[in-house]
Amino acid sequence: FFFGTAAVFLMADPSEKHYDLYIVLGRGQDDPERAFAAIGFATAAQAKGLQVELHLMFDGGLLGVEGRADAITGPPPYEGTLGDKLDRFISLGGEVTICTMCLRVRHADDLPLRNGTHKTTLPVVQAKMLSAGKTLQFGC
C-alpha cells in the first residue's frame, strides 16, 4: 500500500529476513524534506534496535559523496544538515549503500564517498529488498 510517495512492501516469509528494515531514498538536494524524513525514520528505527540499511539511489545517491550532504539543510522543523543525520545513523550501526550506476550516470562514480558508506549493485539491492522484513521507499 502507499503513504503518499512512500511505498511499503511486506514480505510473507520472515525467515528470509536479513534486515528488519530496508529504506530506499531516491531524493537528495532537490527534495531535502523527503531526504530528512527518510534518514530520520532510518535513525529512529536503528536506535530502537532494528537492523536498518539505507540505500541511496537516483539523486539521493549524491548524498553519499563526501561533503555533499553537509551542505544541505532542511526546512523547519528539521535542524542540522543531512550530513549530520547520516553520521548519526551510521554511528548507531546503520548501513548506508549507494547505487553504483546512479553515481555513474551523474558523473560522480570516481568521487570520494562519505565515511561509512559504500557502493552496491542492483542485484545486491534486489536481494536485500526481497529478504528484508519491510522495505520503505522515499521519492522513488
| Domain spans of the chain, in order of start | 2-138
Domain 2-138 homologous superfamily, CATH: DsrEFH-like (3.40.1260.10)
The per-residue pLDDT for 12 is: 39
Beta carbons within 8 Å of 109's beta carbon, 6+ residues apart: 100, 103, 119
SS3 110: coil
CB 135 within 8 A of CB 129: yes
Lowest mean pLDDT: which of 33-47, 52-66, 97-111, 122-136? 122-136
The per-residue pLDDT for 49 is: 97
CB 39 within 8 A of CB 60: no
The per-residue pLDDT for 17 is: 42
- The 10s digit of each residue's pLDDT in 83-136 is 999 999 999 999 999 999 999 999 999 999 999 999 999 999 999 999 999 999
Where residue 76 falls among pLDDT bands split at 50, 70, 90?
confident
- β-pairing, 134-138 vs 21-25, is parallel
Stated pTM of the model = 0.86
Give 121's DSSP letter: -
- For residues 139 and 36, what is the distance between their CA atoms, to the nearest angstrom? 12
